[in-house]
Structure 1
Amino acid sequence: MATAALCSNTNIGCEMRNPSISGLKKQLLTYMDSKQVRQIELGFQFSKNAHHGQLRKSKKPFISHPLAVAMILANLEQDKATVLAGLLHDTVEDSEVTQVDIVEAFGEEVATLVMGVTKLTQLSFTSKEEAQAENYRKMLLAMAKDIRVVIIKLADRLHNMRTLQYLSRPRQRAIAKETVEIYAPLAHRLGIASIKWELEDLAFYFLDYTKYQQVKKKLTLKRHEREQLVNEMSTLIHGLVAKEGVESRVSGRPKHLYSLYRKITEQNIPFDEIYDRLGIRVLVHSVKECYEVLGVVHSHFKPLSGRFKDYIAMPKSNLYQSLHTTVLGPHGHPIEIQIRTHQMHRISEYGVAAHWEYKEGQVSDQVKGPQFEWIREMIDLQKESESPQTFLKDLKLDLLMDEIFVFTPQGHVKVLVKGSRPLDFAYLIHTEVGHRYIGAKVNDRIVAIDFELSNGDQVEILTSKTSLPKMDWLQVVKTRQAKSKIKQWFKRQNRDQVIKSGESKLSQVLLVAGHSLSSLRDKVDMKRLITQFNGTQFDDILVMIAQGEVSCKEVVRQLLKEIPSEKGTFPYTPVQSKNKVRKSENVVVYGERDIKVTIAKCCNPLPGDDIDGFVVLGKGVSVHRSDCANILKLGTELSDRLVSVEWDSEVVAQLYPVSFQIDCFDRVGILQEVVSQISELGINITQVKTTPKPQSQIQIRFVIQVRHVKEFASLRKKLLQIADIYAISRSS
């Protein structure tokens, strides 16, 4: 891979060999006044001093990188603060410069942009995925406040890709993979085609050099013939349009290797049948002229069926507007023609960077507009994701999704991912519309729930107040948002059940203590109790009790402390057994260790669990969890044989078996993830059993060995972070 050859083909290796501000100043003066340019020149000197003595992997002075980033931003005609931040974006991360230094020298606005781009290097992470996910989260949050952050980040990534050949092969592949999965789709979402195409082609080069050269070779073959066809067609169209009194600029469109490669492989289209290998762009001054040119083209050249798209009437979510049509040109060759205004073309090349409005020291509110809804959705995504791996997976899927445009009955345009169903549309309108879904009309026809929506469909959702989400809906919907809302609904239902379970346990223990939960709620200041157990509402405590995260007896003790007449001790005074039994290893009966006990197999209590004892005549004391159904029944029928027991804190805990079950949505690899997580915590598994359940669910039962209930609680917390697990409970 010779650098000189690469530079001419794909901008790889085009690092600025002699860092200078002169070229940047020349470009800036085309749209800035001299005062602003002088301030940027000060920023260059500041960055140059900060990076003094530092070299890139190419052995060039480090300043060549921020200077190149600033030049990319200047070519996008970005404002003074953005270009300054481009020059300074590595100073905090790679030099002794602090955020305070930048604020003092260039103001709060520039400093905020720099910090938005700076990685979270000062924090420690448990895995590479977690670090990567947290940096993406930070970038998303920063761009939600100021979209210029991601424009700087894209310029930074573009120059790094241009100089990627200086890194090791594994690093090249890792960075190229991240570029094609995250940064190129991000540039597409922002409508910055000029950066998107180059990022994709550069990534393609490093990910699969052989295929890159194969596509390039095919494109080079008959290049002269193609150029003749494009020139001939361009001349014809320009002349025909001029006769109608329309001033136009007609030119051939550049071909992008990665785009061609994707069409060949993913769509299984032979190279010779890719219509936009021959492409022409027509630029005019008004929307009216766009449609006039379309009429001229269709009246003189035969349009191919199904190849017309009107992105002017229905712009893409990244603001892209244009008319696309494919016609049979001279000699019967298909040629794709794009027709747009000069302003549309500018937006198609530079996207949000072209139309972004700036005010000195103040960012435009356009980030709150509908075209940035996807950013807000990604913010929600990072909040909902239960693990870094889940977030990264969902982020990549959301960025890569193709779009369709559908209409509400009122004629409003809604954007969905390709392949969406009416139920996806329902959840896009409103969560409750989705939950109450009973059917849909598409173009005034009743359709099935799995009907695939197409561009231009008009969708009407039919609802009922009595309808509720169904598990099999998860197999129907295609959007992450719809799936998330359905899963959240089912998780909330499970939470309600868990709350009831916790309330039942607490009520039972309170009754033994001579109180009712309802009466205590009237007597006790619950706010203090909630704060003590780090909750936000009393239901949180009930959930903790049900899930074994706090001791039921401890909650009761704290409740009783709030009553002035109570001493805060647990009044558990059943009749003591007269039987003499042998010493227990780790359970104390009435404060005595000289008593024989057995651990009840019906509930398998663990050290740290709330426990009760029941005298088994001639066999000692059987120890149960306080919430065990058997001990509750025995306590009602034979209360005189209940004894007070507790775990012996002076004995080193041994291993105890604990049985639990996981309820989750079935998918490939979920069992492996669970087993790996258990093994990572050093916990031994003695038994595993899986049971399929209806509606694509599965129940996994484990028997493991732990020393304390806290060990199980820690494991449970880890397992609940695995995607698609919605409930974990102890079992007999």
Structure 2
Amino acid sequence: MYRIEDLAVTLSQYLPYEQVSTIKRAYYYAEQAHDGQRRKSGEPYVIHPLAVAQILADLRMDCDGLTAALLHDVIEDTGISREALTEQFGESVASLVDGVSKLTHLEFNNQVEKQAHNFQKMAMAMAEDIRVILVKLADRLHNMRTLDSMPAHKKRRIAKETLDIYAPIANRLGMYNFRVDLESLAFDAYYPMRSRMLQRAIHKRYGQRAQDKETLEQYIHGELAADYIEASISVREKHIYSIYQKMQKKRRSLGEIMDVLGVRIVTDKSDNCYRILGIVHSLFKPVEGRFKDYIAVPKSNGYQSLHTTVVANGLPMEVQIRTTEMEMVASNGIAAHWAYKASNPQANVSFSHDRAMKWAQGLIEIQQKAGNAVDFVDNVKNDLFPGEVYVFTPKGEIVELPTGATPVDFAYGVHTEIGNNCISCRINRRLAPLSTQLESGQTVEIITAKNAQPNVAWLSFAITGKARTNIRHYLKDKQTENAIAVGRRLLTRSLNAFKTNIDDLVDEQINQVLEFYQLSSLDELLESIGKGRHVGYLVARQLFPNFNEEELITPTSFKLNGSEGMLVSYAKCCSPIPGDPIAGYVQVDKGIVIHHLNCPNIQDHLENPERYIRMSWGKEIEEDLNISLIVSFHNERGAVSKIASSIGDTDYQVSNIVIIERGRISRLRLNITVSSRIGLADVMRRIKSVRCVDKVIRETIIAK
């Protein structure tokens, strides 16, 4: 049972009397506020915030952080307001409590959206004050320790959320001890059967070797002492969820996991770490390719250590070598900032703190450009991958990225504008595709152009939250801009039938239509027309309700000029290309879909004449479009190769060749990119010139 007297004893070891008194006052305030409330286990509710404060006191949290921990559920679960907390304990404490509190007064469509909004609010508060997440992690840790009193379905939901969000955040902040506890408890709650079976297997394989572990510790200690190196040594097993993840990810058995057993060696100076590494490699055979120097190149969460894997007594074993200061940062991450300052005010452990703050503040940019809370959480999850690669800029600066990152992620990691203007890249001075997955040690140079812009295809391989959010934000703005331009052209075309144009409309007419469609501005109306949500002709009819139908003139055709962007797409059923007779159909949220005029599918669209648009190609149109050709040919040796090579020395790109019928006369489908009917005619002429070719036709619904 937790008691305020025990907490006060812990606090008196590192806080002045006045601050301990403030924290005790916060406890009695919380006790009164939660009076009558009980947890699922039946114990008084105030035990929970007291336990959270005790967890943070062990990390040497400061006075405001501990006060907020004791009061963290007061706003959410009692009638006390933020203003009342501000009056009693100050703005800093009230702000921390508000950041931890959930959004209890809003209605959400589902549990996913509710969790997303809660996390978004907490993340924004965290960006302003990192102590918010420390209180939340301590809160989650105590809840996981007392999860047994919850119903089974809630246990699984809370455990899944812990594995997906809170344990990765603890890892991102370098809080190893928190991460291990959260993952182990959540794994046991979410996969109880797997947890028990794996625990038994580990115990069977390694559990009987306690004597061997002690002998190993003494052996290493003796060898280090012979070289006058002071160090503490501990042999341990890797925590169970980490082993499970490796078995799942790498599809390996327990016996194939190399670092189930680990040795941690902690010394006083960083140069001793390298001396110890040499001694360890002289005592045991190192495993090739398993050495990592995180002292020279720390992880993004501030973690520093030397890692190597050796074989001892026939078993692979990971050895971690670090200093006392590195050990504190490795165990407590950002929390070491307070722990070390409390015990040694002159110590400098701001490295992990500064990095954590930089990451947390980067969440603000992601949040500002994310479409909604669910998108925000998805993008942040992408930044919580534990694996990392370290690449260099041309000037030799190190950039840290998650495993699987590409040059696009690198470009946005350097600066948003470099990402937006990126056109290609060089990896180790050689041109490479933007979709290339980067590896540690590579030097990456981004090539930019002033008028370049993000490509929607980048979303298929960009993985960092910053890159994906900026790409989506840019494309959304561009689509809005294109939609307004297309909407203006469509409405102008419709107004021509009424012998007027947009500039001649009066405010009274526009406001009347905006009120009818419940829109706020003319740009919003034009965007809605461009995206197909409203039809230009019907809007024009609304603007002129008393116009004589007999005086209407036939609207001019809508000319494609290539600037419509994502608001124009080309139907795959008939694959029209510049020069074909075409018609357009306005489809909701897709803009204009272009069909060949003779496409049977356009007949269905004619049932909605207000959405049917006469179309024509602009003179300046230069669209590269995919078409399919069906080639009939005499089946002789090398026939397919001859057909492919007939257009191999041109600018036309062949994306695929498939044999669809074999026999004396065979048939193949050739997918090719062309920009006009002239280009298509040139391709067909070249293919027909091949001696074995019998016939070439364009494959469309029309041809069938």
Please give the TM-score of this superposition, normalised by the length of structure 1: 0.68
Matched, 1:542 2:526: yes
Q: CA deviation at 1:284?
A: 1.7
2:319 counterpart (333, 337, 352): 337
- Find the counterpart in structure 2 of residue 104 from structure 1: 87
**Whole-angstrom CA distance in 2 between matches of 1:91 and 1:470:** 47
Q: CA deviation at 1:624?
A: 8.9
- Find the counterpart in structure 2 of residue 668 from structure 1: none
Q: CA deviation at 1:422?
A: 2.7
- Find the counterpart in structure 2 of residue 153 from structure 1: 136
Instruction: Name the CA shift for 1:233/1:459 in 2 (closer, same or farther; >3 Å).
Output: farther
**Whole-angstrom CA distance in 1 between matches of 2:234 and 2:152:** 39
Q: CA deviation at 1:476?
A: 3.9
1:246 counterpart (229, 240, 262): 229
The C-alpha deviation readout for 1:456-499, integer Å capped at 9, x for no partner, is 22222334557655554444444454444445554444434322
**Whole-angstrom CA distance in 2 between matches of 1:604 and 1:444:** 47
The residue matched to 1:327 in structure 2 has which SS? strand
| Range moving further from structure 2, 349-358 or 296-305 | 349-358
Task: After TM superposition, list the pairs within 5 Å mapping 1:74-113 onto structure 2.
Answer: 74-113=57-96
The C-alpha deviation readout for 1:633-670, integer Å capped at 9, x for no partner, is 9xxxxxxxxxxxxxxxxxxxxxxxxxxxxxxxxxxxxx
Task: Look up the equivalent residue of 1:348 and give its one-letter code.
Answer: A
- Find the counterpart in structure 1 of residue 329 from structure 2: 347
The C-alpha deviation readout for 1:192-215, integer Å capped at 9, x for no partner, is 111110011101111121211122
Instruction: Name the CA shift for 1:275/1:539 in 2 (closer, same or farther; >3 Å).
Output: same
Task: Look up the equivalent residue of 1:38 and give its one-letter code.
Answer: S
Contact 1:248 1:283 in 2 (8 A): yes
The C-alpha deviation readout for 1:227-252, integer Å capped at 9, x for no partner, is 33333332233233333333222222
**Whole-angstrom CA distance in 2 between matches of 1:24 and 1:225:** 38
- Find the counterpart in structure 2 of residue 503 from structure 1: 488
**Whole-angstrom CA distance in 1 between matches of 2:672 and 2:548:** 47
- Find the counterpart in structure 2 of residue 263 from structure 1: 246
- Find the counterpart in structure 2 of residue 138 from structure 1: 121
**Whole-angstrom CA distance in 2 between matches of 1:304 and 1:87:** 49
Task: Look up the equivalent residue of 2:436 and give its one-letter code.
Answer: F
Contact 1:275 1:334 in 2 (8 A): yes
| Structure 2 residues not aligned, in runs of 5+ | 343-348, 553-582, 589-605, 617-670, 674-704
Task: Look up the equivalent residue of 2:410 and give its one-letter code.
Answer: F
**Whole-angstrom CA distance in 2 between matches of 1:224 and 1:576:** 93
Task: Look up the equivalent residue of 1:351 and give its one-letter code.
Answer: G
Contact 1:146 1:367 in 2 (8 A): no
Contact 1:117 1:139 in 2 (8 A): yes
Task: After TM superposition, list the pairs within 5 Å mapping 1:302-701 onto structure 2.
Answer: 302-329=285-312, 331-355=313-337, 369-386=354-371, 389-464=374-449, 469-470=454-455, 472-508=457-493, 517=502, 539-547=523-531, 572=547, 629=613
Instruction: Name the CA shift for 1:514/1:148 in 2 (closer, same or farther; >3 Å).
Output: same
Task: After TM superposition, list the pairs within 5 Å mapping 1:275-294 onto structure 2.
Answer: 275-294=258-277
| Range moving further from structure 2, 189-198 or 347-356 | 347-356
| Range moving further from structure 2, 22-31 or 369-378 | 369-378
**Whole-angstrom CA distance in 2 between matches of 1:368 and 1:231:** 36
Contact 2:130 2:360 in 1 (8 A): no
**Whole-angstrom CA distance in 1 between matches of 2:81 and 2:510:** 43
| Range moving further from structure 2, 421-430 or 489-498 | 489-498
**Whole-angstrom CA distance in 2 between matches of 1:27 and 1:91:** 24
Q: CA deviation at 1:93?
A: 1.6
- Find the counterpart in structure 1 of residue 185 from structure 2: 202
The C-alpha deviation readout for 1:598-655, integer Å capped at 9, x for no partner, is xxx998999xxxxxxxxxxxxxxx999888646x99xxxxxxxxxxxxxxxxxxxxxx
Instruction: Name the CA shift for 1:450/1:76 in 2 (closer, same or farther; >3 Å).
Output: same
The residue matched to 2:285 in structure 1 has which SS? coil
Aligned pairs, number: 564
Matched, 1:35 2:18: yes
1:165 counterpart (129, 145, 148): 148
Task: Look up the equivalent residue of 2:316 and give its one-letter code.
Answer: P
Contact 2:422 2:447 in 1 (8 A): yes
| Structure 1 residues not aligned, in runs of 5+ | 1-15, 559-567, 578-600, 607-621, 634-692, 696-732
Contact 2:379 2:469 in 1 (8 A): no
Contact 2:365 2:466 in 1 (8 A): no
Instruction: Name the CA shift for 1:75/1:552 in 2 (closer, same or farther; >3 Å).
Output: same
The residue matched to 1:275 in structure 2 has which SS? coil
Q: CA deviation at 1:509?
A: 5.7
- Find the counterpart in structure 2 of residue 643 from structure 1: none
Q: CA deviation at 1:407?
A: 1.3
- Find the counterpart in structure 2 of residue 580 from structure 1: none
- Find the counterpart in structure 2 of residue 73 from structure 1: 56
- Find the counterpart in structure 2 of residue 700 from structure 1: none
1:295 counterpart (265, 278, 285): 278
Task: Look up the equivalent residue of 1:542 and give its one-letter code.
Answer: L
Q: CA deviation at 1:515?
A: 5.6
Task: Look up the equivalent residue of 2:326 and give its one-letter code.
Answer: M
Q: CA deviation at 1:170?
A: 1.0
Contact 1:181 1:400 in 2 (8 A): no
Instruction: Name the CA shift for 1:40/1:284 in 2 (closer, same or farther; >3 Å).
Output: same
The residue matched to 2:445 in structure 1 has which SS? strand
Task: Look up the equivalent residue of 1:374 and give its one-letter code.
Answer: W
Task: Look up the equivalent residue of 2:201 and give its one-letter code.
Answer: K
**Whole-angstrom CA distance in 2 between matches of 1:130 and 1:605:** 29
Instruction: Name the CA shift for 1:246/1:464 in 2 (closer, same or farther; >3 Å).
Output: same
Task: Look up the equivalent residue of 2:159 and give its one-letter code.
Answer: A
**Whole-angstrom CA distance in 2 between matches of 1:89 and 1:554:** 55
**Whole-angstrom CA distance in 1 between matches of 2:112 and 2:63:** 35
Instruction: Name the CA shift for 1:465/1:373 in 2 (closer, same or farther; >3 Å).
Output: same
Instruction: Name the CA shift for 1:519/1:342 in 2 (closer, same or farther; >3 Å).
Output: same
**Whole-angstrom CA distance in 1 between matches of 2:586 and 2:217:** 82
Q: CA deviation at 1:294?
A: 1.9
Matched, 1:120 2:99: no
Task: After TM superposition, list the pairs within 5 Å mapping 1:210-221 onto structure 2.
Answer: 210-221=193-204
Contact 2:333 2:352 in 1 (8 A): no
CA RMSD of aligned residues (A): 4.1
Contact 1:604 1:624 in 2 (8 A): no
Contact 1:176 1:206 in 2 (8 A): yes
The residue matched to 2:43 in structure 1 has which SS? coil
Q: CA deviation at 1:273?
A: 3.2
Contact 1:604 1:625 in 2 (8 A): no
The residue matched to 1:266 in structure 2 has which SS? helix
**Whole-angstrom CA distance in 2 between matches of 1:475 and 1:413:** 25
Please give the TM-score of this superposition, normalised by the length of structure 2: 0.71
Contact 1:526 1:538 in 2 (8 A): no
Contact 1:129 1:388 in 2 (8 A): no
- Find the counterpart in structure 2 of residue 684 from structure 1: none
**Whole-angstrom CA distance in 2 between matches of 1:529 and 1:224:** 79
**Whole-angstrom CA distance in 2 between matches of 1:424 and 1:52:** 51
Identity %: 37
Q: CA deviation at 1:576?
A: 6.8
The C-alpha deviation readout for 1:171-221, integer Å capped at 9, x for no partner, is 111111111111111111111111110011101111121211122212222
**Whole-angstrom CA distance in 1 between matches of 2:250 and 2:502:** 64
**Whole-angstrom CA distance in 1 between matches of 2:192 and 2:586:** 60
Contact 2:513 2:539 in 1 (8 A): no
**Whole-angstrom CA distance in 2 between matches of 1:76 and 1:408:** 37
1:49 counterpart (17, 32, 35): 32
The C-alpha deviation readout for 1:504-547, integer Å capped at 9, x for no partner, is 24434665676655688xx9999999999999986445323434
- Find the counterpart in structure 1 of residue 693 from structure 2: none
Instruction: Name the CA shift for 1:550/1:101 in 2 (closer, same or farther; >3 Å).
Output: same
Q: CA deviation at 1:341?
A: 1.3
